[in-house]
Amino acid sequence: MKIICIGRNYAAHAKEMKSEVPKEPVFFMKPDTALIIRNQPFFIPDFSEEIHHEVELVLKINKVGRNIEEKFAHKYYDEIGIGIDFTARDLQARCKEKGLPWEMAKAFDGSAPLGEFKRKEDLPKPEMIGFHLDINGKTVQEGNTRDLLFSFDKIIAYVSRFITLKKGDLIFTGTPEGVGPVKINDKLEAYIGEEKLLSFNVK
Ligand code: MG
């Protein structure tokens, strides 16, 4: 099982990061040791002073595919969930400065808390899904897939040109604006629509 993450997939987030809006999807990976499931707590690692939350919708791949055509991409997932792409922003800034890969800032253990999944047919159309993240009861990030730069189908088609997708693989589809730091004792709750699908504490 692998975790593929799309970067800069909402223009307003690319702007807040002072990054260019990409012409093609940007992707990177996290290992399976990044996952936190069943609402287990997230422990702030000792190597970063600035861990940022990035709430993202997550696709669960349901069969093997490579070089998937965009028009068939919808057949490769039937569940959508929500997760956090935790990012050590201070380390990422140093990597970017030197033009180095981001793995240490993005792929560390526990960097991918993952909530429950919903069946696609129980959600609005893939281009009309609203989601948000609350911290300590206050909404800090709010997104809607109508603002995606690259649709779910485009992402699947693009990534599968380079990497074979397999059943159980996860695709984090990018974060909307409003990323920011988390601190010890924060409670994070992520929703698709009004349904809470992920809830955990920072320790
Ligand atoms: Mg992200």
Q: Give 11-59 pLDDT, tens digit per residue.
A: 998 889 888 888 999 999 999 999 999 999 999 999 999 999 999 999 9
Q: Which fold has domain 3-201?
A: Fumarylacetoacetate hydrolase; domain 2 (3.90.850)
Taken as a whole, the chain contains a residue count of 203
Is residue 144 within 8 Å of 12, Cβ to Cβ?
no
Q: Using the mean position of ligand 1's atoms as its centre, give its distance from the Cα of residue 124 in Å.
A: 22
Is residue 83 within 8 Å of 113, Cβ to Cβ?
yes
C-alpha to C-alpha distance for 13 and 21, rounded to whole angstroms: 9
Q: Give 121-143 pLDDT, tens digit per residue.
A: 999 999 999 999 999 999 999 99
Q: Mean of the per-residue pLDDT values for the chain?
A: 97
Q: Using the mean position of ligand 1's atoms as its centre, give its distance from the Cα of residue 86 in Å.
A: 8
Q: Output the pLDDT for position 17.
A: 87
Q: Using the mean position of ligand 1's atoms as its centre, give its distance from the Cα of residue 53 in Å.
A: 9
Q: Output the pLDDT for position 18.
A: 87
- Count CB-CB contacts under 10 A for residue 129: 22
Q: Using the mean position of ligand 1's atoms as its centre, give its distance from the Cα of residue 69 in Å.
A: 24
Q: Using the mean position of ligand 1's atoms as its centre, give its distance from the Cα of residue 155 in Å.
A: 14
Give the burial class of 45: count Cβ atoms within 10 A of its Cβ; 0-12 exposed, 13-18 middle, 19 or more buried.
Answer: middle
DSSP state of 74: G
DSSP state of 156: H
Q: Give 24-36 pLDDT, tens digit per residue.
A: 999 999 999 999 9
Q: Using the mean position of ligand 1's atoms as its centre, give its distance from the Cα of residue 153 in Å.
A: 18
Structure tokens at 193: 């629509």
Q: Where are the domains of the chain?
A: 3-201
Give the residue from 166, 189, 184, 148 showing the smallest Cα distance to 68. Answer: 166
Q: Using the mean position of ligand 1's atoms as its centre, give its distance from the Cα of residue 9 in Å.
A: 8
Neighbours of ion ligand 1 (CB under 5 A): 54, 85, 175
Q: Using the mean position of ligand 1's atoms as its centre, give its distance from the Cα of residue 178 in Å.
A: 12
